[in-house]
Every structure is written in structure tokens, then in C-alpha cells.
Structure 1
């Protein structure tokens, strides 16, 4: 409530001050005040009489003399300066068109077309003044009155800029006079509710800005600066361009205004901003006359090396084409109004003479500008005329084909077909910058390819042929991704390596993509390669080395078995239980061979049986050692004739011990295979880039129970052998069994941490090594001393030696006859 009270008080105070000021003015004027219209001197126009006439407004002069307004007296009339030859040619194009129509009796038979043309001096005041002057009849400005008789008004051609066109359209729309602009691009003018009689021969800025954003994206520019006039044309275009650039994935480095109300256009500040910024591409939404001041300042501060993207407002400007601007503007690219060469109009311009154009007050300046001369005298020419009309219906339905084959029509919003030429600025043969068409932006293209650019035809600054870069951050190469930096635009990013297992195959990737389960990134992380398959194969040096050792070891076990068979009648063989020794050697042979089941491709059958086979043959082996140990102890304890322990020294007792030991292991393995059998699996997580093919044990508990049972058998054998260590040396195997079991247990205890820490095929190789090592421990510790006596110390392999330690003969007989098998 307080806010509204304050606002009301402010409005009341302001109104009171204005009324007080008005009273004082009236008091001081006295009788001089009366009911009259102020008259102004109208200058800067040309005309031609006719049955009907067309009015036209053009900014023939581009600047004005800036006057400080102190609001104490009436401001003087505007003084125009800086003749614009391009706009004069546009004005002359209207004159040329009128003369062409009058020369062709088929177009307007028996009717002469006239014109009234007004120089707006590129100011809003002159644009409004000229509109009211035309509507008032061409003599005095009398709002809402048409005081002069004469030619009726068909319509108005103009204005050049969007802001003056809006002002004119608001006035002309009241009376539905058709207005056709040749350069106003503000999208608001398409609103038929506000501007019902406005048309234009150039597309709306929303189309142009969308096309310029596509052009910027086409060249890969992601860091762009924006300059725009602080008028309707510039500000509307600035907002649309910024949004379209962001939508295209680029970022705006800066957005600054060209202050057209200031004499220097804020150029020194703009030059410093551009010089400081690392954006090398700048989109300029301005008229050529306003941008001219900025370019001059850029040249003064030596700001070069930028790529300028031009809107249609200056893309074909002759003001900016002078040679001195080459260092700043060479390489410029932008959108120009689509056009074609008119040979007759070119000849018409070249034949213009001041003596034949006495009603043209601007031709003197045109000659001075074109031929670089100075007239000593210029005549003053004035014109007058007035008219009224309604032509709006016919303009809305116009549709014809131009001489170059293009269709010309107005859509429901008063806009023509959207076609732009893409021009490139380069130094021409005459030393001036020239605009060369290098592509087209055409929304009417039948193949839907709206943007077509010939890259090879473009010349950039310093005559470079490669597209210059304009990025806030350097491009992230393949194998990296962009990481947004908090607080900065999305185009200012950092590059981060793709995470493990991910790739990016293009530059400036937003995210990395994971490889499939059977592939892995290469070192550069820019493509996925098939993963290496790892298993303990026979082709691997480790694989075939272990296989060779296994086979050779099994052959050695067979050789020892053959040696025992050959010397089975000798006391040393008989004293060591011949049958058990042969069974133990056979089990050792199988232990060596079972390691081959762990080498090679892990097929389902191999995975199912290899651990079971290992557990059973090792249970057989350790059970044989346990049986030998128990029988030796019993044999040496049954020293008395008729002892009840003698019956336990028979061979069948040994087999019962072995059978019981193997049965328990078999039971565990059967339960394992029934409830959670091993199976082949592919491991993609253990090693990056490698597929480990291995056998999953199914139930880890079953595996460790099987291995623990072997340890239990070995521990019992060790304990029994340790208790029999003091028996007579000549017959005692206990000390050899102690060493064998101690080595066996040491190997498998060391195996556990090594097995758990190894990865891939080295896990399997570790188990194979443990199998071979533990088997060799039993073979060496139990059988190598006997082989040494049989082969190299035959004198020790005799009954006499066995009885030489002082033991009784009965004891020896138990060992040789009861404990040992009697070969036939």
C-alpha cells in the first residue's frame, strides 16, 4: 500500500510541476499565444508528379550534427551529414522502378506514376516528420488533415531501420496505407494486430538469427561475442541471436551495445572489450553507419585478427569496404539480402547527370562521393505534393516471378520468402574490400538443406584458408570428456580422461560410453578392442612348462614303480611293504597326471572333474602313507610271539585303512557335485581389458573341506610317524614319512595365501605348482633313499644287514614276513 501511495504522490507532484511551468510560460507569452499550428521548414526531399504517387523514405544522409538540449528554448532543425551512397542508390532504385513502370503501357495504361521521396537522415524525428508530411499533402505538417489537392497516395516505401519503420507503421496503420519496408527486420512488425498494413521485402530477424546461429555452429565456433545497436533492430536481434546461439550449443562471451545516441557510439569501450576477450568471432547486429565508428576505433587501437559475422544491416556495406578497414574486416562472413544483377539499373546509375536531375537535391553529393570532387555551387530544389488512397488488398495478394526466376509474395504476416546470400569479405583487385557470395541460406529449399556453404571459396583474415578457431577452452581430444567448471559458461570446461572401461571417439565429447562386456578400450580410449582371453593354455610358456614337468614327473614315478617290481624279492623292498609301495607309487603317478586337468581351456567337463580327481588321488596317496606308517608301528610293537597285534600287520588291514580314507573324501566330493558343482565362468572384473576364463568352484566350502581333509590325513600321518621315529634305523620309514608329510603340509599351507592373492591364470598355475611340489615331496622323501640303496648300495639290501642292529630275529621276521608281502 505504501508503494502505491508513494507512486501516486510522485505522479501528483510531477503533474503540479508541469502545470506550474505551463502557467509561467503562458504568463510570459501573454497575447502571443493563440490557436495555431507550428510550421517547420521541410528540406531534403524530391518528387515527380503523376496521377497517383508512391512515397518513399530513405536515410540518404547517415549522421546528424549532435546538439546539446537544455530544454530552455526550441531546438534548431536537424543538420544532416555523411552522405550514404548505397542508400542513395536504393532511393534511385525507386525512381528507376517508377520510370520503368511509366515506360511500359501494359502495366498502368493511361496512368502516370509519381513519387515523393523524403530523406529521414537516419533519425526517428525525421522519419515521423516525413510520414506526417506525406499524409498532410506534402506542404505543411497538419496531423489528421489532408489540406492539399492533387495526386492520391498509393503507398509508402520505407523505412530502412526497424525503429523508424515501427513509428511509421503505427501512423500509417491508422489509415491502412500500405507500407513496404526494404530493410526493417524486427519480428514485432509481423504482428498484424499492431501493424495491419506493414509489409517488407526482407525476412524477419528471427529467421536471420536462426540462420546465423547455424552458420556459427557450422564452422564449429562455440565462443562468440555479440555487438548490437541499442535500438529495436539491435536489441531484438541481440536477444534472439543469444538464444539461438545457446540453443546451437555455443556460448556468448560478451554482449555489448553500440550506443547510437552518443557521438562516439561507445566505441572506445567496445574496442577494449573485444581486445580483452579471447572470443575470436564477433556477431554484429547494427547498421553500417553505426558500426563504422566502432571499426574506426578498432583500427586506431590495432584490434585485428577477429572474424566478424555480419547481419544484413552491413554485410554489403560500401561505407566499410574502404581499403583502410582491410586489417580489421578482411575475412568477414555474414548474411546478405538475396539479390541479382540488374544490368539496366547499373547503366541507369552510370548515366545520372546533375543537369538532367534538377529535382534531385542529393545528386550533387552523389557525384562528389563517386568521383571524389567538390562542387562550387549547388542549387536548391524543393517539391510539394499530396494525395490519399486504399491499395492494401492488392498488396496483400501480390504474387509474381522476378526476372531471375524467384517467386515474390507476402505471407500472412507481410514477410517475403526467406532467402539470404552468404557473403565473404576479401580484398579486391581495386584495393577495396569486396563481398563474394560463398553460399546461401534458403528456407524454401526443396531438398530441406537450408544452409549451403562452399568452404573452399572462403578467405579468412590474413588470407588463411583454414577455418579459425573460437573456443573458450581447447578441444578435448578423443579419449577425454568435457567437465563443466562451476560458475563458468558451459563452453568453458576442463578435459578429463574417460573412466576405466569407457571411451569417447570424438572431440569435445560430453560423456564417455562404456565398452561392451567382451571389449575394452585401447590406450588412447578412443575405440573398443576385443578383450584378451586369459587362461592357463598349453600355448603359454607357463602352461607348457608345467605340462612338461607333470608328464616327466609321472614317468619318473613309473620308473621307480618298475624298479620296485624288478627288486621285489630284495629285503629292502619287502621290508617296506611291497604292495603298499606299489599302490603309493601308482597314486603318485596319478597325482602328477591330475595336474594336467588344470591346464587348457576350462571346458564344463574339465571344470566338473579336475578338483574332484585331485582330491581323490591325493586322498589315495596320503591314505597309503598313513597305512604304511600305522603298519610299521604295529609291526615293531608286535615283538612277542603269539602277540594279538600280529593279525593287524596283514595286508588287508592296510587296504581297509586306505579304503576308509578314500571313502570319506569320495563322500565329500559326491555331495559337492550334487549340490553345488563347479562350472566354467568368464571374469571381466578382476583384470582390466582381460576376460579370465576359469572354473568357478561352485561351493567354496566344499573346496576347502576337500583340501582340509587332505591336510587332516597328512597331519595324522605326520603324528603317527613322529611317534615311531625311535624304531631301529634299519627298518624305520617313519623319519622319511615325517619329512614327506612336513613338506606336504608346508606346501599346502603356503598355497592358501598365494592362491587367494593370485589372479587369472596364475591362480590355476599356483595350484598346479602346489600339486607337483607336494607330490614330489612324498616321492623324494619316501622312495629316493630306497632307490639309492637298491641301485648304489646293494650290500645294505640284505637280511644280514637288517639283523645287524641287535634286534631279535623274531622282530625281523615280522617285518620281512608278516608286515611285508611274500612274492611268489
Structure 2
């Protein structure tokens, strides 16, 4: 056991030597700054203007605090020491509340016997002045004896530093944890949001402010909610910008957000030198980021960046340029900056900011109500705040040039306007309050974890506890604060993020108010993670209280799609109409979509309308007309049959095979009637019979014409002396021709029905606005085989009739057949291209028209001359006129 103890003491001694060596190294690095400070103070030029006010309260353990309340405007040229009063002091009055929050939390803990009984807490708070040298100076004071700047020198008047609560700016937010990390002091960072670096992963550093990753996620939700896709980003420094471009830029791009300008304040610092006016550089920078079409400017930075941004906006207020929507991040809240000449902040009217969530702390208002310089001891901040907040001066003030009444010290804080000193708890004050309690609860947990030694740890012995022992308990700390909210760190040593969305309203007298319009809480389920009341937001007067748009170009309206512009970010695009038959029903669609099969795109191509069911019906004019034509020709054919039957004994009826004549007339009658199979809603039976009946009946008609043509030729040849062909004419050869031709066509139809029969179908695509009910022929090859076979018969009949047209008969039927076949072939040759070029029910109409016209051609050309002779010229209906031999 003694060996272990000696090893442990030796290990601690080694750690102590290592810490001393690191402090010496840091001290040597800071020596030029400290020497410069000492030389200036020795000269007595800054001594009266630049002191380090501190607020000190003794205790068994001490909280170190680095906050920002005051700063100084530097001279333009730093090559020489200035003569006369070189600095202009500015005060951010709101930040005094941060100091009071720390003091209030310590006071509550000391009065609470359940947290740290028999132990008192104190604090030592320094002002950072937003300058790295004074922050480093404060750090050296924390690890030095009281009233001496001797780092790592322990003596009887050395405070027991418990933890450091630092409200830092971006310039030093990465280096300070490294310096204090040598001693493993718990460091609770309460300044601006930081980016992810190796220093963030130090075991001694705890982020009370959500990291840049969480902050940008919140900004992304805000941009997406308002559909702002064309923005400007201003980062505090190059490091933040580089981190954003590497980590967050792809995430913004994936959500459809582009950047008109991406800049950092570093480029402004590079422009400014001893020979360039700061105003010129500032305005060049400002106009670069504001003279774009983007109406939304996201500014990511800290208090230092915000003060400079207020300066830029104040200068631009003179020019009254176009209003913008500012989105400000944590640490860049609008604050009252008190200086000799007031800055115009109306450019921030309507700005939105992601602020740290806060809640009212019981007893905090009472704590500050009676606070004044006369009843507070050790507060080195209160006089500067009091003088500038109440526009008065103390008789012993170093600000001799300041005009105003003498401060009585009896002024009341509650009489100050909200923008000067808010009485409600701000986000940063709330975080500092929770940071003080987090360390106290960790210390309490550490004491409670060693029950055997609890009796020994009394009085002075407790002072021997080392700060590094707190880390184990600080990582696991979880408690409910006085506002009833749970406070804990995640696995990365960060406070679980939660934001309030603040709308900033400014007034002509340079006052302003903050209005909470929403919140973001990643821990909340679903839709509760992001809530915002858009109706409560007041926008910049430039937008006439209408939600601003921020896009590279106007939105593509429904009916159009986006086409990216070459050489431009993907947010910049042209709008082109959707192709015919496609539609877009939302703004800014990348591609036009196709409507469902039972719908079609309207004329504006922004909506899908139901298609109408279409087929050739008896209720529409076209169907009625074709039906009437079919019926009329059928009646005419019937009359012709009746006429021929009535005059069946006349020579003209008996001539050229009377049976063929009746077969042809009946076939034509059936052809006219089969047109009714094509009209009406397609059914299974009609689809099966439609093309089959048409093919067989028409084949009978054409084969009858062919047989008649052959009969005419054979009859003429039989009249020649000694002709042996006479016996063929007397026999029933014509009937065999009709029968064989019809049987062959019927065989084709049977094969069609057996292999792929027609069936009812609906065509969704041929006609854009209709669902065409039709008979699907199933096999177009078989359909065209039927037509081709009829065509061959017609061509054969036409050829034979054409060569027989000059036979020397008084009534030569070959001429009539020639004309009829000419009409028939013309109709069906024109049918094929017409049929293929039409769509929907008009295809059926074309086929019906071809059936009627070709049948009517056969009826008219063949039978009209005969009917004329039978009915009107009966004197010619004699045998000597029908057959006249050639002499």
C-alpha cells in the first residue's frame, strides 16, 4: 500500500512538473503581449482608459468567469503609440445581466444546504474586452496568486479555482481550452457556437452552447420552412468558413439551397491596413454581400462580429438600400451598444435569430431590483454599466469627457428600457446560470461518492480536492434547475441543443424588442421539433409585411419544369413548358410527370383530368349517320333483290348466271348489315364476329364478282364455232369458284379464332383525352391476311373484267364489273393508310365507311344499269338486245 501511495504521489508530482513546464511555455509565448501591455501601462497612456474591471467574491472554491461588457475602438495606425486619449469605449449594457446571473447562481447555491453544506463558493470575473490579449491576461490571473501575475506559483493567498465559465469570441475559442486544459480545469464555454475541431474534444472542455453543426441544422430548417433557397452566408472567420464548406455545404445543397455569396470577415481584415480607410473597406465588403438578388443573409459569428455588422448596417442606413432578412446565429443577437455616436440599427428590422433557449428564474428579478453601486461590494463592472445605461457620470469616473447628470446610485434597473437592460432572462444568462449549477452538482456528486471520507472532508481539507476529479461527475451530471428544466450533457460533452426563434423589431429611436415566434428542440418528437408562428413575424418594411422570397429566379409555375442554366448554381434555372401529354402540378418541379392511365394532362399541363370513355355509339352524330347509311343501303339492296325476283324471267336477269346474281346481292346485303357489328360498345361476341363476318361476307361478294367475270369470258368463248369450253359454261363452275374462295377465307378466319381471337380492350394512350373502348384484333397479321386475300380476289376480278370490257355484247356486264372493281380496289387501297393514321373510334368509322362505300360501289356499278333497264327501259329487256353476236 505504501508503494502504491508513493507511486501515486510520484505520479502527481510528475504531472505537476509537466504542468509547470507547459505554463512556462505558454507564458513565454504570451510574453510579447504582456511586455507590450506593461510598456503601455508604464507610459501611463492607457492606464486611465484600459483597466480590467473584475467582480470578486471569496469562497472555499472559486468560479473563474470571463465575460464581455466593454470594448475599445482601436486607432487606425498601430505602428506607433497614440498620443492623447487613444481609445473610444463602448458598452454592451445587456451583458451585465450575464455577470448578475453568475453571481445570483452562486448566491442561491451558498444558501442551499442540500447541495454543498459547509462549503462556500466564490467567483472572480474578468472582462474580455473582446481582445485575445486580455483574455490570456485573465487566464494567467486565474492560475496566479491574488494581486500578482505569477502563473503556477502557489502561496497562502492563492484561490482554489474550481472551474472556468468563459464567454469567448471565435478568435480565441479554440486556443483557451488548450491553455487551461494543461491544469484540467473544467471549462464551460458559454460564448458563441464553435465548429468541430480537435480542441472541442478535450476532456476538460464542455460546450454550454450548441455546436455549429446543431446551429446550421436549425438554420437549414428555418430556410426550408420559408422556402428560401438563394442566400448569402457571412462567417466570422476563415476557419469557420472552411469547416462550413467541408461539412455543411453538401447538406445545404442536398436540401436545394444555393449561395449567392459566401464570405468571411477575414477578407475585410485583409483589405484594411494603415493606408486604406476602414470605411472604404467596410462598405466594399458590405455591398459585396448585399448587392445580390438574395433577400436572406445568414450571419454566423459572435459578439465581435455582431458589433462590426451593426456598424456596417448603420453606415448603409444612410443610403437606404434594399431591405434584407437577416438570420442571426447564437452570439449575434441584436444588443444595445452604447457609444458616443449612436448607430442606426433599422436595417435589422424583421431579422430572425436562433437564440439560446431561456426560461424565467424564480427570484432573479428580485435579485436585480435593489441592485445599485452603493449596496454592492467588489463589483468592478457596475459603474461603467450604470453610467452609460442611465446617461450619467460618477464624480470619480475616468470618463471625464462624458456629459450628463451625476449618478446618485439610487436609480432603479427596472426603469431602464428592455433593449438597454432586459429584465427577462436572456439565453446567455440562462446558460451561465446552468453552468454554475452543473459544476456545483458535480462537486456534490463527488463528495457523495466517498461516504467513508465524508467526515474527514470538512473545512480546509475540502480545499485539497483537485479540479480534474470533477470531470467524471460533470460528464454524468443531470439535474432540474429552478425553472424546472432538465440540464445534462451528451456523450460529446455538449449541452443538448434547444433554440428559441426570435423576431427583432426596431424603432426609429434605435430601440428594439425581441419577440419569440417559435422554437426548435431536437429532442421533441416529430412535428414538435420545429414550431413557428408565421403570422406573428414582422418583416422588414421593404416587403410590405408579405413573406419575402429569396430565389435565384422566379419560381417555375405548374405546367413548367426547371432547366438548369449552364455555369450557374443549380438554384438558377430557366422554366420551360412540359412536353405534350405530361404535367407538373407543383412549383419548381425538376421533371414533368405522366398522368395515370385513366387521366390526361389539361391544356395548361398543370392538372390531370379524368379521361372520357369513348366508343362509336348510336347516340352520337357519327354513329347515327353511319347506321342510317348502312340501313339505307340495306333497304336499297333489298329493293334490288325484290326487283330481280319480280322480273326473274326477264332476259337481263337470267343473263350471266342468275344464281350468282342472287348470291352477290345477298352478300352485299350482309355486307351492309355487318356494319352494325362495328357500332356500339364492344362486347366479347361482337368482337369475335366483327372481322370474321366482314371477311367471309366480303369474300363471298368479291368471289361472286370474280365468278361472274369468268362466266362472261367463258360465255363469249363458248359462242365461237367448235369451242369445247361450252360444257364448262353449262356446268356449275361459277358456284364452285364462290364456294372454294369462301372456304379458303373461312379457313383463315378459323385459324385466327383458334390462335389469337379478338377481344374487347381499352386503349388508354392513342387519344390523350379519351379511354377508347375497342376490339383488339389480337393478331394484326391475321387481320391483314384477311384483307390481303380479299384484295387478291378483287385484283383478279378487275384484271379479267378489264380484258373482257370490249367483248361485242349489246349489254356487256364486264364493263360494269371493271368499274365496280376499280371503285372497290380504290376504296380498300386508301383504307390501309387512312386506318393506320386515325385513332380511337375514328378507326372504326373509317372501316365502316370503307365497307359501305365499297359495297355501294359494287351495288351501284353492277346493278344500277340493270335496274335502269328493268324499271325504266323494259323494251330493252329482250333476248335479241341482250345477246347480239358479232358478224
**Offset from partner CA, 1:527-570 (integer Å, 9 cap, x none):** 44444555444344222312221121111111111112122233
Whole-angstrom CA distance in 2 between matches of 1:290 and 1:138? 35
- Match among 270, 275, 281 for residue 296 of structure 2: 281
Match of 1:748 in 2: 828
- Match among 180, 184, 190 for residue 176 of structure 1: 184
Is the radius of gyration larger for structure 1 or structure 2? Answer: 1
Q: Is the 8 Å Cα contact of residues 557 and 587 (structure 2) preserved in structure 1?
A: yes
Correspondence 1:520 to 2:603: no
For structure 2, the residue ranges without an aligned partner over 5 or more in a row are 1-34, 273-277, 400-462
Q: How does 1:614-629 map to 2 (within 5 A)?
A: 614-629=694-709
Whole-angstrom CA distance in 1 between matches of 2:242 and 2:147? 36
Correspondence 1:269 to 2:284: yes
Match of 1:44 in 2: 53
Following superposition, the deviation at residue 490 of structure 1 comes to: 1.6
In structure 2, the residue corresponding to 1:436 is in which secondary structure?
Answer: strand
Whole-angstrom CA distance in 1 between matches of 2:84 and 2:242? 30
Correspondence 1:346 to 2:428: no
Correspondence 1:699 to 2:781: yes
Whole-angstrom CA distance in 1 between matches of 2:167 and 2:746? 104
**Offset from partner CA, 1:475-499 (integer Å, 9 cap, x none):** 2223333222232212112223334
Change (3 A) 1:758 1:202: closer
Q: How does 1:77-96 map to 2 (within 5 A)?
A: 81-96=89-104
Q: How does 1:323-402 map to 2 (within 5 A)?
A: 325=344, 327-342=346-361, 344-357=363-376, 359-378=378-397, 390-392=466-468, 393=470, 395-402=474-481
- Match among 692, 712, 715 for residue 798 of structure 2: 715
Correspondence 1:211 to 2:218: yes
Task: Give the TM-score, by structure 1 length.
Answer: 0.82
Whole-angstrom CA distance in 2 between matches of 1:449 and 1:751? 68
Match of 1:654 in 2: 734
Q: Is the 8 Å Cα contact of residues 350 and 540 (structure 2) preserved in structure 1?
A: yes
Correspondence 1:453 to 2:532: yes
Correspondence 1:300 to 2:318: yes
Change (3 A) 1:748 1:301: same
In structure 2, the residue corresponding to 1:355 is in which secondary structure?
Answer: coil
In structure 2, the residue corresponding to 1:702 is in which secondary structure?
Answer: helix
Match of 2:335 in 1: 317
Match of 2:152 in 1: 144
Q: Is the 8 Å Cα contact of residues 802 and 814 (structure 2) preserved in structure 1?
A: no
Q: Is the 8 Å Cα contact of residues 140 and 150 (structure 2) preserved in structure 1?
A: yes
Q: Is the 8 Å Cα contact of residues 275 and 303 (structure 1) preserved in structure 2?
A: no
CA RMSD of aligned residues (A): 3.9
Following superposition, the deviation at residue 77 of structure 1 comes to: 12
Correspondence 1:227 to 2:234: yes
**Offset from partner CA, 1:374-416 (integer Å, 9 cap, x none):** 4443279xxxxxx996244154444321222101233443322
Match of 1:509 in 2: 589
Change (3 A) 1:671 1:709: farther
Following superposition, the deviation at residue 660 of structure 1 comes to: 4.0
Q: Is the 8 Å Cα contact of residues 169 and 191 (structure 2) preserved in structure 1?
A: yes
Q: How does 1:662-673 map to 2 (within 5 A)?
A: 662-670=742-750, 673=753
Following superposition, the deviation at residue 774 of structure 1 comes to: 2.2
Change (3 A) 1:284 1:272: same
Match of 2:16 in 1: none
Q: Name whichever of 210-219 and 198-207 sits farther off.
A: 198-207
- Match among 51, 56, 62 for residue 65 of structure 2: 56
Q: Is the 8 Å Cα contact of residues 55 and 115 (structure 1) preserved in structure 2?
A: yes
Q: Name whichever of 413-422 and 353-362 sits farther off.
A: 353-362
Change (3 A) 1:230 1:621: closer
Q: How does 1:535-550 map to 2 (within 5 A)?
A: 535-550=615-630
Whole-angstrom CA distance in 2 between matches of 1:532 and 1:340? 62
Q: Is the 8 Å Cα contact of residues 310 and 345 (structure 2) preserved in structure 1?
A: no
Following superposition, the deviation at residue 465 of structure 1 comes to: 4.6
Following superposition, the deviation at residue 82 of structure 1 comes to: 0.7
Match of 2:308 in 1: 290
- Match among 490, 495, 499 for residue 420 of structure 1: 499
Correspondence 1:433 to 2:512: yes
In structure 1, the residue corresponding to 2:732 is in which secondary structure?
Answer: helix
Following superposition, the deviation at residue 469 of structure 1 comes to: 0.8
Q: How does 1:98-117 map to 2 (within 5 A)?
A: 98-103=106-111, 108-117=116-125
In structure 1, the residue corresponding to 2:182 is in which secondary structure?
Answer: coil
Change (3 A) 1:454 1:330: same
Correspondence 1:569 to 2:645: no
For structure 1, the residue ranges without an aligned partner over 5 or more in a row are 1-32, 381-386, 809-824
Following superposition, the deviation at residue 127 of structure 1 comes to: 0.2
Following superposition, the deviation at residue 332 of structure 1 comes to: 0.8
- Match among 260, 267, 272 for residue 253 of structure 1: 260
Whole-angstrom CA distance in 2 between matches of 1:237 and 1:445? 26
Whole-angstrom CA distance in 2 between matches of 1:156 and 1:802? 132
Whole-angstrom CA distance in 2 between matches of 1:567 and 1:173? 128
Q: Name whichever of 635-644 and 201-210 sits farther off.
A: 635-644
Q: Is the 8 Å Cα contact of residues 57 and 119 (structure 1) preserved in structure 2?
A: yes
Whole-angstrom CA distance in 1 between matches of 2:607 and 2:238? 52
Whole-angstrom CA distance in 2 between matches of 1:517 and 1:377? 88
Q: Name whichever of 763-772 and 128-137 sits farther off.
A: 763-772
Q: Is the 8 Å Cα contact of residues 479 and 487 (structure 2) preserved in structure 1?
A: yes
Match of 2:869 in 1: 789
Change (3 A) 1:87 1:645: closer
Q: Name whichever of 389-398 and 210-219 sits farther off.
A: 389-398
Q: Name whichever of 671-680 and 503-512 sits farther off.
A: 671-680
In structure 2, the residue corresponding to 1:133 is in which secondary structure?
Answer: helix
Q: Is the 8 Å Cα contact of residues 631 and 673 (structure 2) preserved in structure 1?
A: yes
In structure 1, the residue corresponding to 2:496 is in which secondary structure?
Answer: coil
Q: Is the 8 Å Cα contact of residues 238 and 264 (structure 2) preserved in structure 1?
A: no
Correspondence 1:444 to 2:523: yes
Whole-angstrom CA distance in 2 between matches of 1:111 and 1:379? 38
Aligned residues: 762
Q: Name whichever of 218-227 and 424-433 sits farther off.
A: 424-433
Following superposition, the deviation at residue 242 of structure 1 comes to: 3.9
Whole-angstrom CA distance in 2 between matches of 1:683 and 1:789? 50
- Match among 136, 140, 153 for residue 161 of structure 2: 153
Whole-angstrom CA distance in 2 between matches of 1:367 and 1:157? 24
Whole-angstrom CA distance in 2 between matches of 1:86 and 1:399? 29
Following superposition, the deviation at residue 165 of structure 1 comes to: 4.1
Change (3 A) 1:717 1:434: same
Following superposition, the deviation at residue 199 of structure 1 comes to: 2.6
Q: Is the 8 Å Cα contact of residues 62 and 121 (structure 2) preserved in structure 1?
A: yes
Whole-angstrom CA distance in 1 between matches of 2:83 and 2:250? 41
Q: Is the 8 Å Cα contact of residues 313 and 345 (structure 2) preserved in structure 1?
A: no
Change (3 A) 1:412 1:74: farther
Q: Name whichever of 248-257 and 661-670 sits farther off.
A: 661-670
Change (3 A) 1:659 1:414: closer
Q: How does 1:601-640 map to 2 (within 5 A)?
A: 601-635=681-715, 638=718
Change (3 A) 1:794 1:603: same
In structure 2, the residue corresponding to 1:722 is in which secondary structure?
Answer: coil
